[in-house]
Amino acid sequence: MATVLIIGAGGVGRVVAHKCVMNNTTFDRIILASRTLKRCEEIQSELPDGAIEIATVDADNTAEVIDLIERVGANIVINVALPYQDLTIMDACIATKTPYLDTANYEHPDEAMFEYKEQWARDEAFKDAGIMGLLGSGFDPGATNVFCAYAQKHFFDEIHTIDILDCNAGDHGYAFATNFNPEINLREVSAKGRYWENGEWIETEPMEIMQVWDYPEVGPKDSYLLYHEEMESLVKHIKGLKRIRFFMTFGQSYLTHMKCLENVGMLGIKEVEHKGMKIVPMEFLKTLLPDPASLGPRTKGKTNIGIVAEGLKDGQKQKIYIYQVKDHEACYAEVKSQGVSYTTGVPAVIGAKLMVEGKWSGTGVFNMEQMDPDFFMEEMNAQGLPWNIVELEC
C-alpha cells in the first residue's frame, strides 16, 4: 500500500488518476497536484467522492515540490507534468528520498533537445538517496522499450535491427490539433530526423524518410522517420544492435498545417516583440489550438504502436512484431480520455505499481528496458493494454 503523488493534471494526469483509483489496493492514498487547481478539480469531480485529494504546486520550484512531498508523505511521485519539470521534481525526490517516475525525458524550455544526459547525471544522487528513478514509463518511450527487452529475453540471442512504429489513426474532426501537449508535440515533429546505424547517429531533414506500413486493425499508413528519445537508451542496452529507427504516422492535413505554421514562424520558441509585449509564438499557438484533453469525446479510430525486431536465435534469422492496438472511444468510455493519453498514462501506473510492489527495484536511475519485462507485459494485459506478437518473414 502506498501514497502516490501525481504531478500534472493534463490529459495524461487524468488517466493516471483514474487508473490509480482502479488500483486502490496498491495506491491507498492518491494526491493529484498541478499548477492550476481547476484542472485537478475537474478530474476529482469525475471520480468517486474521496477517491483522490488535490493540491496546487509549481513544479518548476524544487522547494515547493519538497514541501508537498513531505506534507502528504508520498511513497512515490509520478511526474506527468511537462518535460521541463523533470529535473526539479527529480531533485525534490532526491532531497526527500522518494522514488520517482516520469514519461518523457528532460527538455529545456529554450532549446528543443530531447536527451537523457541530465537525468542520467543524477544516477549517483539517486543511489546515495537509496531510491529508484524510472525514466520514460509511458508508451513510447515506455512500453516500446519493454517490448524490446521482451524480444531480447524471449526471442533473440542478438537483435540486429529495431523499427519502432507509432500509428495514431484517430480522427478528432478538427482540421488541425495535437493529441498531447502541442508545444512538446510540435517541437518533436518539426525537429530534424535522426536514426542510429553501426554506432553512429545519422541526421535527416524533417519528414525526409517515409515508408508505408500496414498496421494490423488499422491498415496501411504513411510513416515518417523521426528522432525519438527511447532510441538513446536502447542503443546502450540491446545486445548486438546494428540499427534502430522510429517511425510515426501523419496525415497530409496535419503535415500541411505544420509546414505552413513553421513557414510563418508560429513554431518558434524564442520570444518575439508584439505590440510592446514579449510572446513566444509556439506558446501563443498552444493558446489557439484545441486543448488535447478536449479531444476525448470527439476522437474515433485506433492507435497501434509496436516494434519490429530482427536478429538471430540459435544461429537462425528471426523477425518479430510486437504491437498494441487501442480504440479511442473505448478509452474515453473507461477514463474520459482519448487513446494517446490513455496509452501513456496506463504504463505510468503500471511502472509505479511494479515499483511499489518491489517487482521492479534498484537504486539509481533506470530506463525501462533495464527491468524484467515479464511483469510489465503481464500488467499491460491486465490493465487495458493487451498486446500481440507475430512472426514475420525475414
Residues near ligand NDP, by CB under 6 A: 8-13, 34-36, 39, 57-60, 80-83, 85, 103-104, 138-142, 180-181, 184, 292-293, 340-341, 344
Closest listed residue to residue 326, CA positions, set 169, 171, 185, 150: 169
By beta carbon distance, the residue nearest ligand NDP is 10
Supply the minimum distance, in Å, between the C-beta of residue 137 and ligand NDP. 8
Closest listed residue to residue 228, CA positions, set 176, 256, 283, 187: 187
- 50 burial (CB, 10 Å; 0-12 / 13-18 / 19+) is exposed
Q: Which is nearer to ligand NDP, 160 or 302 (CB)?
A: 302
Q: Which residue has the cell 520550484?
A: 61
Q: Which is nearer to ligand NDP, 10 or 170 (CB)?
A: 10
Q: Which is nearer to ligand NDP, 186 or 309 (CB)?
A: 186
Cell of 313: 536465435
Q: Which is nearer to ligand NDP, 167 or 340 (CB)?
A: 340
Question: What single string gives the DSSP state of each residue in 37-94?
Answer: HHHHHHHHHHS-TTS-EEEE--TT-HHHHHHHHHHHT-SEEEE-S-GGGHHHHHHHHH
Cell of 310: 530482427
Q: Which residue has the cell 547517429?
A: 201
Supply the minimum distance, in Å, between the C-beta of residue 303 and ligand NDP. 10
Supply the minimum distance, in Å, between the C-beta of residue 332 and ligand NDP. 15
Supply the minimum distance, in Å, between the C-beta of residue 293 and ligand NDP. 6
Q: Which is nearer to ligand NDP, 14 or 221 (CB)?
A: 14
Torsions phi, psi of 279, nearest 5?
Answer: -130, 150
Supply the minimum distance, in Å, between the C-beta of residue 325 and ligand NDP. 15
Q: Which is nearer to ligand NDP, 92 or 160 (CB)?
A: 92
Supply the minimum distance, in Å, between the C-beta of residue 158 and ligand NDP. 27
